[in-house]
Amino acid sequence: MSGSIGLEQVGAPRLLVPVRQPILPAAEYERRLEALRARVAADSIVVYGDREHFANIAFLCGFDPRFEEALLVLAEGRPTLIVGTEGLSLATLVTIDVDVLHCPSLGLMGQDRTEGMRLEDALAQAGIRAGARTAVVGWKYFEPEEWSSTATRIAAPAFLVDVIRDLVGDAGELTDATDAVMNPRDGLRSLSSADQIAAFEWAAARASHAVAAIVRAAEPGLTERQAVAAMPYAGEPLSAHVLFASGPEVAVGLRSATDRKLELGDAATTAVGFWGGLCCRAGLIESVPQKQRSHTAEYLEHMAIPYWRAIVTWYESIRLDTRKRDRRAGPRNTGRDGLRISPEPRSPHPPRRVGAQPRATGIRGSDPLRHVSPVRHHPRLCAAWLGRELRGHAGCWRRGPAGCAGSPPSGRVVESPGP
């Protein structure tokens, strides 16, 4: 392993938070629709979206079906947006030229069904016809090895797939085109324009700002909710629930904040995600006077330095087209205390699969580096992966007389290492 690991005093990073939200131009969506038409060999394409699975339809036309399902149909002529009752007003915000059809069956139960179109009639008017080759973009796609059924593998509601199958008939063909949009190697969403990067950065910077406020606020005696309440929020659309877990339940990192009071030495983790960026931090809660830092050397030797050696090994070993066995055979390193560091530490959690969400590496889930060990959990778990159970203290969310966790005295490790 090249280089060395040292400890230096650094101030809190300056978090630049943009105020004005970048808006994608209509031409961006038009280019995406044309790219999808060119990529998919079909007479018509149906893109599905709902409250949980709206990213594909939002990527292609900017529509967000808040409480309902929605369909974007590409056939001959202009695109067609099929929406429920509450989606009619939202559809007026779409910046590209689309036909809008009202299908109350895509809305909530208990609403009036006497007006609007039935689903099969709306799809037929949008261009789904008998004998056509129709492709569906669902909310994810399945790899061949995880599907043995003779049915077409489409991750979309059965009621939609059944209606489309009836409309195209035996002479038609129903296929899945989700891969064309979502696969992280060359799917449409794996490439971001300058306008899209600006929009992502706006969200990511604000998510980081929110997490930093929670980290600064967290201290023994506060409840989890009180710590999270320090987060500035200006109505940004959330991509996930705000997460906070601590103490005995910290390994359940996906849960929301509770009324549990934070205690000295608690492991804790929090995450905030807005559309375009999610930030997560984890560590241990501590509150000590500035001069009582006798454990600092032990923390560095047993936790921080071995962790960063593992991270360096990872980045030195990872390459495009590198397979797990290649990384397993890579160099092993030894920390100051004789602890052997493996590029693939044993995790208490199942390995994380590189799935449909685009990553900077552009590695597809079915290709090399299929599994990646999660390295963003709290220090106690990180230490366990490295073969050493952390005993005593680790300085992560530490508050002393200086107050701000981002302004430590010299020699203090403030934040647990993490991507």
The segments of the chain whose pLDDT lies below 70 read 1-3, 287-297, 299, 323-419
Sign for the CA dihedral angle at 142, 148, 154, 157 comes to: negative
Residue 52: what pLDDT? 92
Sign for the CA dihedral angle at 246, 247, 249, 250 comes to: positive
The CA distance from 303 to 208, in Å, is 24
Residue 408: what pLDDT? 31
Read off the tokens for 31: 């280019």
Question: Do 304 and 341 contact (CB within 8 A), yes or no?
Answer: no
> In 277-360, which ranges are E strands?
277-286, 333-334, 340-341, 352-353
| H or E element that contains 89 | helix 87-91
| CB contact set of 168 (below 8 Å; sequence gap of 6+) | 128, 129, 130, 131, 132, 133, 134, 174
Maximum C-alpha span of the chain: 80
- The 10s digit of each residue's pLDDT in 170-227 is 999 999 999 999 999 999 999 999 999 999 999 999 999 999 999 999 999 999 999 9
Q: Please write down the HEC assignment for all residues of 45-71.
A: EEEEECCCCCHHHHHHHCCCCCCCCEE
**Residue 369 three-state SS:** coil
Q: What is the pTM of this model?
A: 0.73
**DSSP assignment, residue 92?**
T
Following DSSP, what letter does each residue of 138-175 receive, concatenated?
Answer: -S----GGG---SS----S-HHHHHHHHHHHTTTSEEE
Residue 326: what pLDDT? 55
CA quadruple 183, 362, 189, 364: dihedral, nearest 10: 10
**Residue 136 three-state SS:** strand
* Other Cβ atoms within 10 Å of 314 Cβ, number: 19
**DSSP assignment, residue 192?**
-
Degrees to nearest 5, angle at CA 35 with 31 and 41 = 150
CA quadruple 251, 252, 256, 258: dihedral, nearest 10: -70
- Main-chain phi, psi angles of 371, to 5 degrees: -120, 135
Amino acid letter, 284:
L
Residue 325: what pLDDT? 55
| CB contact set of 194 (below 8 Å; sequence gap of 6+) | none
CATH numbers and ranges of domains, the chain: 41-176 (3.40.350.10), 194-398 (3.90.230)
